[in-house]
Amino acid sequence: MLAFIGDDHNAESSMFSHQTDQVFESAIMPILFPASVEEFLSLGLLGMEMSRFSGLWCGFKTITETVESAASLVLPALPTIIYPDIERPLHGFNYDPHLNWPAERLEFERRMIEERVPAAHAFAYANKIDRTVFAAPQKRLGIVTTGKAHGDLMAALKLLGLDEAALSALSISIFKVGISWPLEPRGIREFAEGMDSLLVVEEKRPQLEKQIKEQLYNWPADRRPQIVGKRDRAGQILLPEIWVFTPEIVSKAVARWLTDLGLDGPFEDAMNISGRETRNASEKLVARTPYFCSGCPHNRSTKVPEGSKGGAGIGCHIMVMGTGRRSETFTHMGGEGMHWVGLHRYSAQEHMFQNLGDGTYQHSGSLAIRQAVVSGTNITYKLLFNDAVAMVGGQPVEGTPSPGMIAQQLFAEGVKRVALVSDDIEKYRNDGTIPSETERHDRGELDVVQRSMRKTEGVTVIIYEQTCAAEKRRRRKKGLLEDPARRLFINDRVCEGCGDCSVRSNCISIEPKETAFGRKRQINQSSCNKDYSCVEGFCPSFVSVVGAQLRKPDISHVEALEAELLGAIPQVNVEPVTREYSILIAGIGGMGVLTIGGILSMAAHLEGKGATTLDFTGLSQKNGAVTAHVKLAPQPRDIDVPRIADGAADLLLGCDMVSAVPSIAKIGRDKTATILNTEEVPVAAFTHDNDMYFPARETKSSFVLASSEQAVNFVHATHYALKLFGDTLATNMFMVGYAFQKGLIPLNLDAILRAIELNGVAIDFNKRAFAWGRLAAHDVAKIDALIAANTSQPDAPLDSVDDKIEHFAKELTAYQNAAYAQRYRDTVQDVAARESKVFGAPGDITETVARNLYKLMAYKDEYEVARLYSDPAFKAKLEAQFDGDYTLQFHLAPPLLSRHNKATGRPDKITFGAWMLTAFKVLAKLKGLRGTAFDVFSYTQERRDERALIGEYEAKIAAVLPKLSSHDAASLEAILNVPDMIRGYGPVKEDNIKKARQAWIELEAALDTPMQKAA
């Protein structure tokens, strides 16, 4: 029987748990440490045979380098099993049916310690599981390794220039331990005999080092070698016990060990350069962190009311931690809420929410709820019923429970209240399996339900029912679930960029859109899972497009010229692989990064070369970063470790520049070539940071600074993929083709194409993407001319201050009239004249006023919203994105028609049909009534505030201009930029107006402080 111990476990402490929990007869587990794929196979067979022979379990320590890697290998011959000739007890070493548990548990322990462990040791010694891998002619110095550390050692010796001849000259032998615990004594004693010093190289805790010292402790002083490992002879740290080993770390330790022994060599230099420090990217750069899928139930279910706290646990909901949603604690599977059970009696807080998945509930979470009931804790479990085990592939929950079954069990356990909350609560109205006392609510009422639950003493449960978004997407693709014929579209001209849609939906498919009017919002239709929560944002910019299909770009002209263009790509003279060649690929999960690694390694295998891949995925399936380390070499044995060391990459393929930032440390100056996709893909942080700056320029610069301008190639690969294929999935293979044509992938073209075929997925698509990438590297101008890549967008941001002023003035003419626009021009020109007098030319102050004054003067009342929907540009944008015979629905909250919702504290939005387009045209023509006695909308508080703000801002401008100087320009600009905070509609805008007026008070007070005046 094989058991697996994770890399984050200490093997010694893990084994201790097995020694004390003797449920099975074979309670000691020898740990086998394979250092390579070949050794993994050989040790696996030997381990199983040893288990059969001795009656003990055996296990492998599984780590990323072995579990998440692949390699070309030469299959080793089956090991010849040697069964040691030792005395066997009459009852044998294996299961004895005559032995009773637990009555004879002491006999169990005796047999384990006195019979089975010695049998395992005898088997290990007879089959040389622990062995000398290099023996120097003279026994003087020895290095003992195990597992991954052995590969790190062999790579470290190469860094130090210590080949077999050098090792022989220095009298250094190497011993590889195959079973790290319990250590077989004879083999290590025979190796240590005659040695002056032993260096033990192992990861994490020094459990092997301690066992060696125990074995040699009673040797006479003149025979006992000096043993160092985690610390040197002076007690200083030599090999760290934290994080992971790298060849650089090991090489530095070996160099220090040899230097301390007084040996001559280039070890002093190695100590100075081998411990390369990781470069830290600029703090201004953003990170590609994993996050909830578009439409994920957790976007809503993990929210807790103001004043409450929540707990996380095992499941996707753990990603709520660190997002500012007041869930900052977590626990192991089955322990959900138990920390609160222990803490609640000592806390002034009276209640806590605890997230719990349906899979975890079925596994062990129900026991946590039972314990909470028994303890009398005030806690509300939010049990997500998402119909799938989402984190590991979307399998059905074991036992396939239903919300009704769970509710019955909860009441039977003593839960005080159970509420079923769903995105489609109507399907449960007549469900007879649900206990009658179960409350039923639409998901929009979740906040109200939670506030009620936290006032109830005892344990309460909210069953939040909504199918996993990723699983919905899979089922829709397979035709197993209806795909709603409705998509949402944001009219960016109506959008205020307030971000309320992101607040309500927490959805990553709501993305920033930079326009001439500032940052607005758009929906990424490719990632949208049609949850529709975003429409609940208090904003009239959302439109439902019913019955539409996404318009695919017309690429017929591209396909017509494809054969001609791709056929003319010149062949590349590929340099043969003569050494270890390292390629690091970084991108977004789900976009084919790991596939690229597999294709390149298979191509190398087809050429008879050695290849390894090592994948780091984490939560990449949740929009996170993923990297693949690919190594190529003439032979498999030429690669010691699959991980690429810092500064050792030959090619960095940044399929997403944000995901590639952590890999900057792998860049070696004068060594690494970098190819970077310049697409600015939004990160998850944008969902809760409305004004987040995407540092594209700084990110690109960081790669150049790490190497040189000549070594970095910037490619707008995603743009080309969309224009050429209408699909961003072509991006990564396009990048591979680009790198190949640049001569940066030392593989033959035929081998790569054959590997794409063997991959068996979208073969023609991937071959074409690869070929177009080659063409881009050879002559990108041909592609630009073909797809008109440089065409500017009509709503693209404006650069010059003068352009912005004129643009906004024309808009104000359309908004009201020429006189209104002239009022705007006069004010801005006064600011420009004053700034020119002080600084020589209009600049940031003028730009700030031009932008903010326009924003306040063009407040979006009913007439303006109607005008923007009547503008032909709206229809053009719809037609550019959608195709088919579709109809439109508008989601509005007219102040004279909408009812106030007590649950949300906001007016309810009403859905209007396509006839509203006609109404918009009529209403737009009535803009002349704006602000007059006949303007029925002008009497609301919102409209009064909007008109008042224009005068307030003009007064601020007049007050600020006389104070303008080079010293206080930044402070004055901050005051003049306050209106940028005033975004949104209705209650959202009302809150922002209050914040803006408070900001003015604070900024003006700071401007007039004595300290400021003294400065």
pLDDT tens digits for range 375-402: 999 999 999 998 877 666 667 787 788 9
Amino acid identity of 604? A
Is residue 982 very low, low, confident or very high in pLDDT (cuts 50, 70, 90)? Answer: very high
pLDDT tens per residue across span 781-822? 999 888 874 444 556 677 788 889 999 999 999 999 999 999
Average pLDDT over all residues of the chain: 87
Amino acid identity of 287? A
Instruction: Quote the strand ranges of 248-400, DSSP E.
Output: 310-312, 327-330, 352-357, 379-385
pLDDT tens per residue across span 285-321? 788 888 888 888 898 889 999 999 999 888 888 888 8
- Helix (H, G, I), strand (E, B), or coil: what is residue 953? helix
Q: Are 838 and 460 in contact (CB under 8 A)?
A: no
Q: What is the pLDDT of residue 895?
A: 82
Is residue 611 very low, low, confident or very high in pLDDT (cuts 50, 70, 90)? Answer: very high
Is residue 198 very low, low, confident or very high in pLDDT (cuts 50, 70, 90)? Answer: very high
Dihedral Cα 181, 187, 190, 193, nearest 10 deg: -20
Between the alpha carbon of residue 529 and those of residues 19, 425, 486, 817, the distances in Å are: 50, 19, 11, 43
Structure-model confidence comparison of residues 75 and 360, the more confident one: 360
pLDDT tens per residue across span 455-479? 999 999 999 999 988 888 888 888 8
Q: What is the pLDDT of residue 498?
A: 92
pLDDT tens per residue across span 672-718? 999 999 998 888 888 878 888 888 888 999 999 988 899 999 999 99
- C-alpha 829/C-alpha 825 separation (Å) is 6
Is residue 761 very low, low, confident or very high in pLDDT (cuts 50, 70, 90)? Answer: confident
pLDDT tens per residue across span 498-528? 999 998 898 989 999 999 999 999 998 888 9
Measure CA of the first residue to CA of the last residue in the chain; give whole Å: 76
Q: What is the pLDDT of residue 159?
A: 87
pTM: 0.84
Q: Are 968 and 1008 in contact (CB under 8 A)?
A: no
Q: Report whether pLDDT(228) > 90.
A: yes
Name the range with the highest mean pLDDT among 322-331, 863-872, 891-900: 863-872
Structure-model confidence comparison of residues 37 and 355, the more confident one: 355
515: CB partners within 8 A, 6+ apart: 492, 795, 796, 797
Q: What is the pLDDT of residue 84?
A: 94
Q: Report whether pLDDT(277) > 60.
A: no
Check whether the bond before 979 is cis (ω within 30° of 0). Answer: no
pLDDT tens per residue across span 891-910? 999 887 888 887 777 888 99
Q: Which of 206, 226, 30, 15 is nearest to 117 (CA)?
A: 30
Least confident of 641-645, 899-903, 927-931: 899-903
Q: What is the pLDDT of residue 598?
A: 92
User: Do the strands 31-32 and 179-181 form a parallel or antiparallel pair, or are they unpaired?
Assistant: antiparallel
Q: Report whether pLDDT(13) > 80.
A: no
Q: What is the pLDDT of residue 268?
A: 67
HEC per residue, 382-398:
EEEECCCEHHHCCECCC
Query: Average pLDDT of 80-106?
Result: 90
DSSP letter for each residue of 562-594: HHHHHHTPPP--PPP--S-EEEEEEEETTSSHH
Q: Report whether pLDDT(8) > 50.
A: no
pLDDT tens per residue across span 936-977? 888 889 999 999 999 999 999 998 888 887 657 888 899 999
Give exposure, 282-296, as e/b (b: 16+ Cβ within 10 Å): eeebbebbbbbbbbb
Q: Report whether pLDDT(7) > 50.
A: no
- C-alpha 724/C-alpha 557 separation (Å) is 10
In this structure, how many other beta carbons lie within 10 angstroms of the beta carbon of residue 817? 13
Query: Average pLDDT of 446-452?
Result: 93
Q: Which H or E element spans position 907? A: strand 906-907
Query: Average pLDDT of 351-356?
Result: 93
* Rounded percentage of the chain residues whose pLDDT exceeds 90: 55
* Rounded percentage of the chain residues whose pLDDT exceeds 70: 91
- C-alpha 757/C-alpha 766 separation (Å) is 9
Q: What is the DSSP letter of 940?
A: S
Q: What is the pLDDT of residue 621?
A: 58
Q: Report whether pLDDT(279) > 50.
A: no
Structure-model confidence comparison of residues 4 and 898, the more confident one: 898
